Structures are given as structure tokens and as C-alpha cells.
Amino acid sequence: MIFPPQAAEGIKNVYGIPMKKPRALIFRCGSCGHEEPKWLGRCPECGEWNTLTETAVSPGSHAGRALSGGTAPRSLPLSAVDPQEEKRVGSGIEELDRVLGGGIMKRSAVLLGGEPGIGKSTLLIQTAAAAGTRGRILYISGEESAGQVRMRADRLGLTANLDRIEMCCTGRLEDILVILEAVKPVLIMADSAQTLHTDEAGPAPGTINQMKFCAYELISWVKDHDAALFLSAHVTKDGLISGPKTLEHMVDTVLYFEQGGNPGGGGYDGDCRFLRAVKNRFGSVDEIGIFTMGEGGLQVVADPSLLFLVRREGAVPPGIATASVMEGSRSLLVELQALTVPAKGSVSRVFSGSIETNRVSRVAASLEKHLGLRLSDQDLYVNVAGGIRINEVGVELALAAALYSARTGIALPAATAIAGELSLAGEVLPVRKKAAREKTAGGLGFSLFTAGDLKGAALALFGSVKLG
Ligand code: TYD
Ligand code: MG
């Protein structure tokens, strides 16, 4: 058993209370690089035992500057604090502004995670070229050469801001800090966290320790200099743990890029990409950014419902229902597609990527119990056109309708958008934002349908209730 190192004798704080440690020392975990002001037997970050060792913080680092004093710490009445709200700048990309909560906040750090090839670098260069910031923009590329980034910018037809975007192709923190002081950018794009390294955080490049140390220094720099940082990070094969996840607690906003499917309609080229906030100190995490990725890079979609509705000649086949859902503050119509087939195994299974399988099972159980529609011997497949993930409860009645229609072979009436949450008792609970839903549905030539209970909904939509 290792005991905490003994406190240094004779050092007192401003209140005359003996201090346990000289303040320029910290305890750093040898496994993940997490830092603690005091010794602990177990690292709270990675859970490893006996990995925290006493480390002298180098005076040049931000942590060192903070710990070794300089100016005396002081507090401020909240009324005297400068509100930051007016310090937002438009990113020039509407869907990005939406997920950020209304633009790029000064002194903020945004982590942009996603699988390789999803479009992180594309979004960074498009944002650099479109951002409404006044000063210079530093694009740090640890993966691509300056020539490659320029080629991409040209291919995307980006012409604005090119004089203001300073390129630097290195991942070495010491070099980056020198460049930061020389350029004094207001916006920094760091692509990617995994390529950052420093001599200060151990000899092996590419470790979590290296990435965290460097990210912390960049974040500190933007906080001290009224700038903003976008830091991209790959979601690696072994999951999130060695990648962006370890940086999430350091930044203000965490955005993840998700891969969607092909657009259902609307004539958009490329496939759908969704930008979702999982943490946002400056806005809601409900909003999503909707893009298509095609020849022209990431495109903002003017009417997203067009991506998630399939235009058909003739009648709508059984198993198809149109749901009215809210994604953040935005009302959308999306096409749900359901298929039921006799279960291949002894237990029936649910295959659903875009709606939680638990929700599908619960809705299927309600149909079985309250309408007598046997689904427990069926495998259930559920899709959403465009591959958008739907988390809103208001999708449940439409999901019930799609499953009912798939199982009975009766098609739903055309141009009907369905909204409603199901209770386990078979009631349909009213949805929020009905007026917004009606407006969206009306604009696309749909009428909004909702009902008081499952049986009433089945009678109205299918003309009869199938029992047994
Ligand atoms: P990229 O931004 O390099 O992804 P990341 O930085 O997340 O690894 O995007 C690369 C992918 O996007 C690649 O598969 C090609 C595609 N793409 C387009 O389809 N159109 C474009 O205009 C661009 C720039 C990329
Ligand atoms: Mg990239």
C-alpha cells in the first residue's frame, strides 16, 4: 500500500493554515494523464490504482502559470461580471450556428468528434472561410499538408477569408504556441486532437496523455486571448474512450457528426450528415444540424423534411407512415417504414437503427395488448428515410400506425402526418408544439392526425380494428 507523500513542513496559506503541498506541484496519473491537486490512491478519471505521481508543473505551461501565482486570486460580484451573450459571432453556416446555440462563442472551445471520413475537416475549412470573425484564423493541420487543404478549399469554391486563414501544418504544441503568439488568431481550427503532441507530456507521441495536455493548452490559450477553438477528434475503432470522450469535460461544447442515409427525396446530391450536440454550455443539446455531403462539400438543407419524405408515384404501400416530429425547435415530417415477418428464432427481434429498439418493442406490446394485433411472434424491422435518428416521444403513434399497417397489409391514407405519444394504457397523449407541426404538415400538403386512444386511431386510419 502506498500512502500519500508527507506534507511539506512549515508552509502556511494566507489564513495561516498549514498547507500540505507547495502549490507548484500536482499529481498526474501515469495512465491517462489526469491531474489532481492532491494525491489519491485511485485515479478518478481512468480508475487505475496507484498511478498518481507527484509532478512539478513546468512554469511555462498554463497549469504552471496558474499554480505558481502571478496575480492574487480574486472574486467578483456576479452583477459586475461581463455577460458573454453579445460575444457570439456567426459561423457563416446556419446549421452549425443552430447546434452551437446561436453562433460561435468567444473564449469557447468546441470539440468536433466523428468517424474518419465523416466530414470534420470539411466543416472546419468551410467554417473558416465563412466565419464572421474580424481577425485572423489559424488552421492547424496535423494530417493534411497546406497544399491539400488549399486544394480542398478550391474544390469547394471557397474564396472568402483566404487571406485571413493562416495555415500551419504541425502537431507539435511548442511550435503551435509560438505561432499563436505571432498570429494572435481570433479563431483556431485544430485538425485533429490526435495529432497534437508535446515534449512536456512524456516521450511517446499519440498517447491520451499527450492529447489531453495539448488540448488543455490550446483551450487555455483561447480563454486567455478572447479567441475560439474548434478541435476535431476521430472516434477510433476501439470506441470513444481513447478518443474524443477523454476531452469532453475540458471543452464547452461537444458536437458529434453522425452518418445518415441517402435522402428520401428533394433531389439532394450526396448523403445526409447530422451534427448533434451532446454537451453545450451555451445552448440546448436538442438541436441538430442537418447537412448533405456531396460534390460541393457540406450543404445546408433548406427544407429538411424533403430529405426524410419519399416522393412516390401512385399509392403508398402498407408499412409506410409519415410522422410529425420535433427535432429541437424544428418541426419535421419523416417517413417511417416498417416490416413484420414471422420470427426466425424462438424469440422475436427488433431491428431498428433510427428509433430506439425499446421504444419499438413497447409500441408493439401496446398494439398487441390494446388492439389484439399479434406481433410477439414477428421480427420487426423499422427504418426512417434519410437515416435520421428520432428520439422524440411524439413519434410513437406514427410508429404504431406503421407497424399496424405492415402487419395487416392495409395502407395508410395518403398525405397524413401522424403525431402522438402512447401511454402503456393505450391512450394517445397530446404532443407539444401542435401549431408548429400543423404549419409544417400544411406546407407540405399533409394534414396532421392525432387521436385520443389507440383504438380510435386505428378506426380512423384503417377503417376497422383488426382483432386476433
Ligand atoms: P473529411 O472532411 O476529410 O472527413 P474527416 O476530416 O472527418 O476525416 O471528409 C472526407 C470525406 O468527405 C471523403 O469521404 C470525401 C467526402 N467529401 C465529399 O463527398 N465532398 C466534398 O466536397 C469533400 C470535401 C469531401
Ligand atoms: Mg480530417
Q: Which atom of ligand 1 is nearest to the CA of 293?
A: 19
Give 89 Cα–ligand 1 centroid separation in angstroms: 25
Residue 156 · residue 294 · CB < 8 Å? no
Cα 165 to Cα 75: distance, rounded to the nearest angstrom: 37
What pLDDT shows up at residue 1? 40
Please list the residue range(s) of the chain that carry CATH number 3.40.50.300.
87-302
H/E segment holding residue 399: helix 396-408
Residue nearest to atom 19 of ligand 1 (CA): 294
Residue nearest to atom 14 of ligand 1 (CA): 117
Of the residues 118, 122, 192, 231, which should be mutated to test ligand 1's pocket, given the most ligand atoms within 8 Å of the CB? 122
Query: What residues does 327 pair with on adjacent strands?
Result: 330
Residue 110 · residue 219 · CB < 8 Å? no
What pLDDT shows up at residue 385? 92
Work out the burial of residue 295: count CB atoms within 10 Å of its CB; fewer than 13 is exposed, 13-18 middle, 19 or more buried. exposed
What pLDDT shows up at residue 71? 58
pLDDT in single tens digits along all 468 residues of the chain: 444 444 444 555 555 555 544 445 788 887 777 778 788 888 887 778 888 888 776 545 555 554 444 557 788 888 887 776 557 899 999 999 999 999 999 999 999 999 999 999 999 999 999 998 889 999 999 999 999 999 999 999 998 888 999 999 999 999 999 999 999 999 999 998 999 999 888 777 678 888 999 999 999 999 999 899 999 999 876 655 567 888 999 999 999 998 888 887 767 777 899 999 999 998 888 889 999 998 889 998 878 888 899 888 888 899 999 999 999 889 999 999 999 999 988 889 999 999 999 999 999 999 999 999 999 999 999 999 999 999 999 999 999 999 999 999 999 999 999 999 999 999 999 999 999 999 999 999 999 999 999 999 999 999 877 654
Residue nearest to atom 2 of ligand 1 (CA): 119
Residue nearest to atom 13 of ligand 1 (CA): 117
Q: What is the CATH code for 87-302?
A: 3.40.50.300
Q: Nearest to residue 335, comparing CAs of 416, 273, 428? A: 416
Residue labelled with grid coordinates 395487416: 408
Q: Which residues line ligand 1 (CB under 6 A)?
A: 114, 116-122, 152, 156, 293-297
Q: Which atom of ligand 1 is nearest to the CA of 297?
A: 22
Q: How far is CA 2 from the centre of its chain?
A: 41
Cα 59 to Cα 70: distance, rounded to the nearest angstrom: 11
Q: Coil, strand or helix: which one is 402?
A: helix
Determine the straight-line distance between the first and last CA of the chain, rounded to whole angstroms. 67
Give 199 Cα–ligand 2 centroid separation in angstroms: 24
Residue 9 phi/psi, 5° resolution? -75, 145
Q: Nearest to residue 261, comparing CAs of 274, 277, 246? A: 274
Q: Nearest to residue 224, comparing CAs of 188, 198, 256? A: 188
What pLDDT shows up at residue 223? 92
- Which ligand has the shortest distance to the CA of 257? 1
Give 293 Cα–ligand 1 centroid separation in angstroms: 8
What pLDDT shows up at residue 57? 64
Q: Nearest to residue 359, comparing CAs of 394, 411, 318? A: 394
- Which ligand has the shortest distance to the CA of 124? 1
Give 173 Cα–ligand 2 centroid separation in angstroms: 19
Give 50 Cα–ligand 2 centroid separation in angstroms: 37
Residue nearest to atom 10 of ligand 1 (CA): 117
What pLDDT shows up at residue 393? 95
Query: What residues does 55 pair with on adjacent strands?
Result: 26
Residue type for position 191: D
- Going by the DSSP 8-state scheme, the letter that residue 292 receives in this structure is E
Please list the residue range(s) of the chain that carry CATH number 3.30.230.10.
320-462
What pLDDT shows up at residue 2? 42
What pLDDT shows up at residue 69? 47
Q: Which atom of ligand 1 is nearest to the CA of 152?
A: 24
Residue labelled with grid coordinates 454550455: 281
Give the chain's length.
Answer: 468
Of the residues 148, 256, 293, 300, which should be mutated to test ligand 1's pocket, given the most ligand atoms within 8 Å of the CB? 293
What pLDDT shows up at residue 133? 85
User: What's the number of CA atoms in the CB half-sphere (13 Å) around residue 328?
Assistant: 19
Cα 264 to Cα 244: distance, rounded to the nearest angstrom: 31
Residue 337 phi/psi, 5° resolution? -125, 125
- Which ligand has the shortest distance to the CA of 142? 2
CA angle 379, 380, 384 (to 5 degrees): 155
Residue nearest to atom 15 of ligand 1 (CA): 117
Residue nearest to atom 1 of ligand 1 (CA): 119
Cα 361 to Cα 350: distance, rounded to the nearest angstrom: 7
Cα 185 to Cα 161: distance, rounded to the nearest angstrom: 13
What pLDDT shows up at residue 61? 53
- Going by the DSSP 8-state scheme, the letter that residue 113 receives in this structure is E
Residue 41 · residue 2 · CB < 8 Å? yes
The fold of 320-462 is: Ribosomal Protein S5; domain 2 (3.30.230)
Cα 411 to Cα 346: distance, rounded to the nearest angstrom: 29
DSSP letters of 119-154?
SHHHHHHHHHHH---SS-EEEEESSS-HHHHHHHHH
Give 129 Cα–ligand 1 centroid separation in angstroms: 16
Find all residues with CB under 8 Å of 147, minimum gap 6, and list them: none
Cα 196 to Cα 192: distance, rounded to the nearest angstrom: 7
Residue 396 · residue 355 · CB < 8 Å? no
What pLDDT shows up at residue 289? 93
Residue nearest to atom 17 of ligand 1 (CA): 297
The tens digit of pLDDT for each residue in 247-305 reads 999 999 999 998 888 887 767 777 899 999 999 998 888 889 999 998 889 998 878 88
- Going by the DSSP 8-state scheme, the letter that residue 420 receives in this structure is -
For 128-265, list the strands marked E by DSSP. 137-141, 165-168, 187-191, 228-234, 253-259
What pLDDT shows up at residue 465? 74
What pLDDT shows up at residue 5? 43
